[in-house]
Structure 1
Amino acid sequence: MPKISIKGLQMPESPIRKLVPYAEAATAQGRKIYQLNIGQPDIKTPEGALDAVKNHNIEVLSYSHSAGFESYRKKLAKYYQKTSIPVDKNEIIITTGGSEALLFAMGSITDPGDEVIIPEPFYANYNGFATASGVSIKPIQSNIDNGFALPPISEFEKLISEKTKAILICNPGNPTGYLYTEEEIKQLADLAIKHDLFIVSDEVYREFAYDGAVHHSIMSIPELADHAIMVDSVSKRYSMCGARIGCLVSKNKEVIATAMKFAQARLSPPTFAQIASEAALDTPEEYFNEVIEEYTFRRNLLVEGLERIEGVKVAKPKGAFYCIAELPVENADDFAKWLLESFEDNNETIMVAPAAGFYSTPNTGNNQVRIAYVLKKEDLERAIVILEKALKEYNR
């Protein structure tokens, strides 16, 4: 029998999606599941984005430019310029989701055997993107006790070798919700310039900053122009996860030219989704004000509820819509499966994402879970009650 590739065998499962079969079995048994495991917002997609697709008179569903519609890139550049990111349409490549942008970035700046430094816990698919690119992740641990703040720059410097090509950050962070300060971004910029490294910044949650905090992009630092690569997406900003439209942004002409070759190889991003994404840029500011207010409320509700549960530790997020909770269990993976297979409260249970998959250091985060606060008030309150009851029963 032909053999599967080593790369394929090493490809990690998604800690977010690997429990789906257990959830499907529970649903088939008639059990209601409160899904805290995945960042699928329940906020309505802007009507303008949906109407643009409904009302479009397309006669031939054709390819677009490999870099995406020129009109969309122009409009997107204007959006970034309003947020102190001085880019033009030629410095933007539209991608099939932020995921493809990350793959294009990895493919453009690394070779097999190279290394990328990433503060952990990090978005679980970074493990998969690195495996697909033949790249080694050098993790540097942040800590729940200080809210997963950026580790000291001296710790980054210890990991830099001749194989190091980049530092990858997610700002605000998935799964931690940590929002980097202006000083932290400057420290990373100075380090990248000193050691001639790229900084790849995943900024898909850039709109979600709470308590008056401000998001600081690596693209706003002039001295970092040749080092900075930004990844972005419409998925969370406009509640358009299914559109699968993202972008790669860089002022480095060689990066853009190289990424374009990857873009040409996959031909073009999807046409209808680009139409919706371009129209979404006309969404009024009131939409975001309401969304931020709603997520701030949900964050406070969740964090306060978790803090009332005996043995649970939680870091209060400053952005995005996730938090990491440390539970009084030895193995959160087993606990998550048990919730779906063996536990119910009035025929209801919850689904969480075990956090070990958000680390690359073995045996780390085993008692942690990621919780997405993307449910309405009543559902979040009910989910907290279920979690407290489940922990008591599990630990008996």
Structure 2
Amino acid sequence: MALSVSQRGQDMPVSPFRKLAPFAEAAKARGRKVYHLNIGQPDIPTPPSAVEALRQADLRIISYSHGAGTESYRRKLTEYYHRAGIPVNFDEILVTTAGSEAILFALLTCLNPGDELVVPEPFYGTYTAFAIAAGVKIVTVTGTIDNGFALPPLADFEAVITPHTKAILLCNPSNPTGYVYTRQELEALLGLCQRHQLYLLSDEAYREYCYDGARATSALNLAGGEEYVVVLDTISKRYSACGARVGSLVTRNKAVFEAAFHFAQMRISPPGLGMLLGEAAVALPESYFAENRAEYQARRDLTVRRLQAMPGVQCPVPGGAFYVMAHLPVDDAERFGEWLLTDFAYENQTLMLSPANGFYQTPGLGRQQVRLAYILNLTDLDAALTCLEQALLAYPGRTTELTPEPAEAHAA
């Protein structure tokens, strides 16, 4: 019998926001400028004071830390959460290797192989990879672009809950849609979790970035959620420090925390240098977030205004994060995204986007949608959107027809 990789290895999908990367690299090799709107890597500088603290640190040995993270950083994190209106104790915080590890630890801790995880789609595409790694089955309820991807009706969640269902996972504010779930929506979900004895896993990576005066509600602030809520967090987007790879899993459920800590011990400790940077960043004043929030809102406003002016494009106004999901008048968004990088140029420039099919699990959904990350400065962002506007006029697969959703999406 020939050697073969594991079934989970075979099932592991290509990253939905990096799948077109080889075409982008080839375009750059041909001398073309490529604007990257495919991934949430902001061009806002990491706070200089945090970087300087790392540079000035007395590091004779970069050693292992406690498996849950240094007590110094965990206590600093309690200050951050308290200022955000979220009262937690340091021993309820498990520092992780980015939000990614927090997600994986939550799935490994709260679900057994074969259990079901309910997720509203479209969802952060990497959830699929973590579910495969944990042996967990994702079951979806489908949101719609027509209402800005608001939480699907509670009845849709009830309809898919089975004896195998163990948790509900959502991202608030949402990656990829930018929707900000209301307190009422979250309370309704928690009530559902209480009735069916399910965990509520809340990915809150974009907490700071809500617009038009809105504020995100943390699931940790829902009354009666102590045993049900597990929050997954990261400094990646908060401080534009994606490469630091420092996140956290926060829960008041002591059994969940203890089990997650055992998983954390298996990888010894989280990144020490990243924790030093994160600890220094806690001292940043609220004005840091206010300035960044204003910049992201300006980028959002430009993106939405430009998209809504393009014939055939449907684009809701996202309330948070720094992504927008848009319907484009194209036959296939993935084919269009590849064409942008292989066949198209406007003044020797083009853009890379994320086809939205990678953010849906239901086959056929998202075929005419894309996720755009408005993470570039206004000048570059405007140039990228001009490229998109010109590309839509030139694309040979342009269509005015909206492809009907598959029947199974409605059945779910």
SS at match of 1:222: coil
d(CA) in 1 for partners of 2:227 and 2:117? 17
d(CA) in 2 for partners of 1:336 and 1:351? 7
Residue matched to 2:121: 120
Question: How far does the alpha carbon of each residue in 1:197-242 deviate from its partner, in whole angstroms, 9 at most, with x for none?
Answer: 1000000000001001111011002301000000000000000000
d(CA) in 1 for partners of 2:187 and 2:271? 36
Question: How far does the alpha carbon of each residue in 1:16-57 deviate from its partner, in whole angstroms, 9 at most, with x for none?
Answer: 011111111110110000111010011111112101110011
Residue matched to 2:149: 148
d(CA) in 1 for partners of 2:136 and 2:367? 24
Q: How far is the alpha carbon of 1:148 from its aligned partner?
A: 0.3
d(CA) in 1 for partners of 2:60 and 2:79? 29
Residue matched to 1:319: 320
Residue matched to 2:304: 303
Residue matched to 2:331: 330
Amino acid at match of 1:208: Y
Residues 1-396 of structure 1 correspond to what in structure 2 (within 5 A)? Answer: 1-395=2-396
d(CA) in 1 for partners of 2:285 and 2:28? 38
Q: Which runs of 5+ in 2 are unaligned?
A: 399-412
TM-score (norm 2): 0.95
d(CA) in 1 for partners of 2:84 and 2:374? 26
Q: How far is the alpha carbon of 1:82 from its aligned partner?
A: 2.4
Amino acid at match of 1:277: G
Q: Which runs of 5+ in 1 are unaligned?
A: none
SS at match of 1:224: coil
Question: How far does the alpha carbon of each residue in 1:323-346 deviate from its partner, in whole angstroms, 9 at most, with x for none?
Answer: 001001121111101101111111
d(CA) in 1 for partners of 2:93 and 2:6? 34
SS at match of 2:300: helix
d(CA) in 2 for partners of 1:338 and 1:331? 11
Q: Which moved more, 1:360-369 or 1:79-88?
A: 79-88
d(CA) in 2 for partners of 1:188 and 1:43? 34
d(CA) in 2 for partners of 1:380 and 1:270? 33
d(CA) in 2 for partners of 1:98 and 1:269? 11
Question: How far does the alpha carbon of each residue in 1:312-365 deviate from its partner, in whole angstroms, 9 at most, with x for none?
Answer: 001110000000010011211111011011111111100000000001111110
Q: How far is the alpha carbon of 1:366 from its aligned partner?
A: 0.6
d(CA) in 2 for partners of 1:327 and 1:383? 15
User: What percent identity do the matched residue pairs reach?
Assistant: 51
d(CA) in 2 for partners of 1:228 and 1:79? 19
Residue matched to 2:406: none
SS at match of 1:297: helix
SS at match of 1:199: strand
d(CA) in 1 for partners of 2:348 and 2:312? 25
Amino acid at match of 1:72: Y
Question: How far does the alpha carbon of each residue in 1:49-106 deviate from its partner, in whole angstroms, 9 at most, with x for none?
Answer: 1011100111111101110010110110122122232210110000000000000000
Superposed CA RMSD in Å reads 0.8
Amino acid at match of 1:68: G
Q: How far is the alpha carbon of 1:391 from its aligned partner?
A: 1.1
SS at match of 1:336: helix
d(CA) in 2 for partners of 1:164 and 1:77? 32
d(CA) in 2 for partners of 1:362 and 1:66? 40
User: Number of aligned pairs?
Assistant: 396
d(CA) in 1 for partners of 2:297 and 2:62? 40
Question: How far does the alpha carbon of each residue in 1:263-286 deviate from its partner, in whole angstroms, 9 at most, with x for none?
Answer: 000010111111001101011111
SS at match of 1:53: helix
Query: After the TM superposition, which parts of structure 1 deviate over 3 Å for at least 4 consecutive aligned residues?
Result: none
